[in-house]
Amino acid sequence: MARQSEHDARVARFSGAERLVHRATGWLMLLCLVSAACLYLGPVAQLVGRRHLMITVHEWSGILLPAPFLVGLLSPAFRADLRRINRWAAYDGQWFRAVRTRLTAPASRPAGKFNAGQKIYAGWIAGAVLVMMFTGLLMWFMGLLPFVSRTSAIFVHDILAWAITAVLIGHIRQAYRDPMARAGMRTGYVDRKWATTHHAKWLTEEGRERSRAGRDNG
């Protein structure tokens, strides 16, 4: 929540649980991609070797990928952010229009705690992970499937792996273009000025919720 910290110029953006979920998911995703490269890219496979070990790492890092998310559901802050990601507002449409017309001024791209692009990314990556897990399990138990199903599972898994790689590169690129956004995920806090500039609707919504909670408690 947008709690005011001891220093008035900073705002709490992510809880410790949320940051742990992000980091654990990131490391598991990295293990999946690196082990996949060691299995399917010829030069890398020859350099690394240890194919059976890489298969084991790839399978179990993929199976464990949803674990941080599931554990994160125990955190009220994490659940609150999931609701924000799944809730669309009128200003999200304005954000998309600004992107389409290449307007880059922060005022032309209003956003809550998460902008419309981040909401799309979160939904897409969650769906992609589920499909990768399903097709991966089909490949794991390949002997139980007819030939057509095996071929389809491999095709979808491979194509989606490249798509996820491209999307993650874009995600990392965007993060490195915004040092304050990285600081928020690293430390949990961001400058109030940054939040006001890039996520003004978030501060407004949080202020409204605090006022409502104060009235209810009163």
pLDDT of residue 86: 94
Cα 15 to chain center, whole Å?
Answer: 15
- DSSP character at residue 33: H
> In order along the chain (218 residues), what is the average pLDDT of each group of 10 residues?
58 95 96 91 79 90 94 96 94 94 89 94 95 88 70 90 95 94 95 93 79 57
pLDDT of residue 123: 95
- Within the chain, strands assigned E span 10-12, 189-191
pLDDT of residue 48: 80
Give the phi and the psi of residue 105 in degrees, each rounded to 5: -65, 135
The encoded tokens of residue 197 equal 């500039």
Cβ atoms within 10 Å, residue 37: 17
**Domains of the chain listed by start with CATH number:** 10-217 (1.20.950.20)
pLDDT of residue 4: 46
Indicate the length of the chain as a whole number: 218
Q: Is residue 33 classed exposed, middle or buried when 0-12, 13-18 and 19+ CB atoms within 10 A define those classes? A: middle
Which residues, 6 or more positions from 86, have their beta carbon under 8 angstroms from its beta carbon?
119, 123
DSSP SS3 for 14: coil
Q: Is the pTM of this model over 0.95?
A: no
DSSP SS3 for 12: strand
| Nearest residue to 72 via CA among 20, 113, 26 | 20
